[in-house]
Amino acid sequence: MSLTAANIFADRLAALRQAMRRHGVDAVIVPSSDPHLSEYLPPRWKGREWLSGFTGSVGTFIATQDFAGVWTDGRYWTQAETELAGSGIALMKIASGASTEYVAWLAATLQAGQAVAVDGTVLGLAIARLLQGALDAKGVTLRADIDLLDDVWNDRPGLPHDPVYEHAPPYAATPRTEKLAALHAAMREQGADRHLISTLDDIAYLFNLRGSDVNFNPVFVAHALVGLDHATLFVDQGKVKPSLAAKLTADGITVAPYERAAAALAELPPGAVLLLDPRRITHGTRQAVAAHVKVVEAINPTTFAKSRKTEAEAVHVRATMEQDGAALCEFFAWLEEALARRHEKSLDEVDIDRHITAARARRPGFVSPSFGTIAGFQANGAIMHYRATEEHCAVIDGDGLLLIDSGGQYIGGTTDITRVVPVGDITAEHRRDFTLVLKGMMALSATRFPRGTKAPLLDAIARAPIWSAGIDFGHGTGHGVGFFLNVHEGPHAITPSLMPEPHTAMEPGMITSIEPGIYRPGKWGIRIENLVLNRADGTTEFGEFLRFETLTLCPIDTRCIDRALLRDDEIAWLNDYHATVRERLGPLVDGAALAWLNERTQPL
């Protein structure tokens, strides 16, 4: 961090501490969150970034009068050390993004009679309850009724204004009236006649609408209050055009101003029974509910529904994977030529991002990247959520491994893929690590498992070949993926950081990433990632079984493989995969891209 930047953040921290004194609070919490508990935040709610300079997507900022720190996990430690350097803000290392260690820190640090401020409208209800319990035990007051950012952030952005648009047939194969009917049935099972939804991907899914209020995810800022015979969509005025509002009205959906959502909850009549998901609403939203309303707490039914893609959606996803794979053939053909000529013209990590996005943009149905491209050469590849910028990026020169993790949002699906390519001469150690990661990816990809298996329990299958070498990696093996929605989607995830609760059960139609890795800080990183679809695989006397259909179509670079480490069945899996990739992508590419495809899918 430059001296000028450090001064900016020091001034902001000083202003925050003055605001704390004015309001009589001794600590302030600024989570990486918005009123919808989104992963990627609209600019208005990037308060933690504004105060600290740390740009990672996960982290919690806390300040007292004599301390300031950001709590974040291992994916961001290297990034945070760089971005926080010189700011006077400490990096507080935690085990995972789901960790609540800062709650224990606050309880241990503060004294009875002191107070903590946090904007309750962005504080998750589950965390609020944990925090309230810990602070009550110490006699510390939790103030969730003030947002100190409003006192100090003079040019704070307002709500985003981009229009909402319809996700129309044939891609939206299920009409919103059918989705609403299914939701009504689930509400009746819970004994509820009202249901509040605040998570943006659930709202976009339910109403077959999309937007661009959040980077990378095609969603829009809104709340929805669903009754058994009518629904209200609370969205900023002007975002829904009259023609679309008329279509929504015809389907029993009224559009109301975004700021009216809290009042609508307060105005619910006596006898109303409201279904809320305590993990997917904020403390402020819960506080707005009228005291006379009975509240039923359960997971949003739409969270289950959108995770199970229909067969019609799966057809569109497969077609999207073909287009994405064709774009990648064009990109990698360009990359190999650029690498061969890099001594004539320099090539850096930002060039990778630019060219891979351009290749996707030439494909039909492309909307945007699905996340910020991670292109890391050698040591940068070991930074799990590395992001190159014009100011800070590596020139791809010398020998080593280049990790590229990228994805696209298409009207017919969401993609996410990681590949590693050799640059110059690579070592036996490179090949060993690459092959161990590949073995882990193939082991899980080929697994057959009972329907209803809790997704976290599958994580060890991908780790086993890596563990056998005395190595591990610090992230989950896989996350759910939406259908032209969030690239990270629940309720399932293949990760040890998620409890194997009932709602994590694997069901047909779910899309998940499989992405084990090995990261050697200061040296290199390797991750190989495909997306897979849960498919029925027969019934035995022990019940129904599922298997994974691999969706991603792109060669895995066999130049990085130590063939001696692969079994015959693993070689057969890889050869079969490459034959499928060649067959499905061949008709979509020509010239250098086709030549590259044919070369990189030759059998071992």
SS3 458: helix
**pTM recorded for the entire structure:** 0.94
Q: Angle at which helices 568-585 and 591-600 pack, to 10 degrees? A: 160
Q: Which two tokens stand for residue 547?
A: 């298997």
Specify which residues 529 forms β-bridges with.
418
pLDDT at 2 over 70: no
Share of the chain above pLDDT 90, in %: 89
Write down the mean pLDDT value for the chain: 95
Burial degree of 367 (CB within 10 A; 0-12, 13-18, 19+): middle
Report the pLDDT value the prediction gives residue 6, as an integer from 0 to 100: 73
- Phi then psi dihedrals of residue 299, to 5 deg: -65, 145
Domains and CATH numbers, the chain: 3-152 (3.40.350.10), 165-306 (3.40.350.10), 308-600 (3.90.230.10)
pLDDT at 146 over 80: yes
Q: Which two tokens stand for residue 161?
A: 């204004």
Question: For 336-346, what is the mean pLDDT?
Answer: 89
At 352-378, the pLDDT tens digits run 999 999 999 999 999 999 999 999 999
Host H or E run for residue 419: strand 417-423
At 296-330, the pLDDT tens digits run 999 999 999 999 999 999 999 999 999 999 999 99
At 180-234, the pLDDT tens digits run 999 999 999 999 999 999 999 999 999 999 999 999 999 999 999 999 999 999 9
Share of the chain above pLDDT 70, in %: 99
Q: Which two tokens stand for residue 90?
A: 């400490």
At 463-483, the pLDDT tens digits run 999 999 999 998 999 999 999
Q: How far apart are CA 508 and CA 534, in angstroms?
A: 5
pLDDT at 100 over 90: no
pLDDT at 577 over 80: yes
Higher-pLDDT residue of 387 and 270 is 270
- Phi then psi dihedrals of residue 84, to 5 deg: -95, -10
Under the banding of pLDDT at 50, 70 and 90, the label for residue 34 is very high
- Non-local (6+) Cβ contacts of 318 within 8 A are 551
Higher-pLDDT residue of 244 and 344 is 244
- Phi then psi dihedrals of residue 590, to 5 deg: -150, 180
Report the pLDDT value the prediction gives residue 80, as an integer from 0 to 100: 87
Under the banding of pLDDT at 50, 70 and 90, the label for residue 75 is confident
**Radius of gyration of the chain, Cα coordinates, nearest whole angstrom:** 25
208: phi > 0 → left, psi -120 to 50 → alpha, else beta; which? left
Terminal Cα-to-Cα distance of the chain (whole angstroms): 47
Q: What Cα–Cα distance (Å) separates residue 32 from each residue in 56, 70, 224, 596?
A: 9, 10, 22, 42
Under the banding of pLDDT at 50, 70 and 90, the label for residue 252 is very high
**Whose structure tokens read 């999207």?**
320
Cis geometry, peptide bond prior to residue 163 (ω within 30 degrees of 0): no
CA angle 280/496/57 to nearest 5° reads 50
Specify which residues 73 forms β-bridges with.
94
pLDDT at 94 over 90: no
